[in-house]
A and B are shown apart, each in its own frame.
Chain A
């Protein structure tokens, strides 16, 4: 009965590879997000989708591409991985159109390590 679930929890891969992180929410929320947390715990939003439409696309390399097949899923695909992509990536969802005013629910995170 997990509200927001991400897979995998850990991902170790070599530079140059392509990888995907999957996210699913069973809360019926209309907005989903991807956040990146660096080694100093700083959280930065990457993308936000509302009802399968991209509404926020912060300045991230175009090697990162989100895909939302339906409003319960928001996957993150990363091409040509670089060392600097190593971080923890969090998926989140909320019931509002791009506003967090009711609070967002977060997944457990995916710790990506690029070697």
Chain B
């Protein structure tokens, strides 16, 4: 069945540091891939998505590229801010959305 593996957290970075959160997946067919963000006390928000191989999703300075050859969809941001502190979930589509376990990011001033 489908599965998503994310890097374990928590991740703590200083403001303006570079962020990478690794995500790899196992799936049959050609799923779409997503990153969701959950700010404290809130629901999940769709951050970005990619629907086919080599697509790059981007939003709010975050980027992720759909790599079929490595079955990966790593999330990156060049310069994080304190307001980026949240839990980030990688997900893929199939008959349902399958989520990774989430990675908690804390950005300190």
Binds B, one of A59-67, A73-81, A101-109: A101-109
User: Which of these, B44, B94, B102, contacts A99 with CB under 8 Å?
Assistant: B94
- Minimal Cβ-Cβ distance residue in A for B87: A41
Q: List which A30-70 residues lie within 8 A (CB) of chain B.
A: 33, 40-43, 45, 48, 55-56
Task: Contact check, B95 vs A99: say whether CB atoms are below 8 A apart.
Answer: yes
In the bound complex, do residue A104 and residue B51 qualify as a contact, i.e. CB atoms below 8 Å apart?
no
- Tell me which residues across on chain B come within 8 A of A45, comparing CB atoms: 96-97
Q: A43-B89, A45-B96, A100-B91 are in contact. Are A108 and B102 (CB under 8 A)?
A: no
B interface residues, tally (CB under 8 Å): 24
Q: Determine whether the beta carbon of B102 is less than 8 Å from that of A107.
A: no
B43 and A107 form a contact (CB under 8 A): yes
Write the B25-36 contact mask toward A (1 if CB under 8 angstroms, else 0).
000000110101
What residues of chain B lie closer than 8 Å to A42, measured between beta carbons? 99, 101-102
In contact, A104 and B97 (Cβ under 8 angstroms): yes
User: Which A residues fall within an 8 A CB radius of B?
Assistant: 4, 33, 40-43, 45, 48, 55-56, 90, 92, 98-109
| Given pairs A92-B44, A107-B43, 12 additional interface contacts (CB within 8 A) | A41-B87, A42-B101, A45-B96, A90-B44, A99-B96, A100-B32, A100-B34, A100-B91, A102-B32, A103-B34, A106-B45, A109-B43
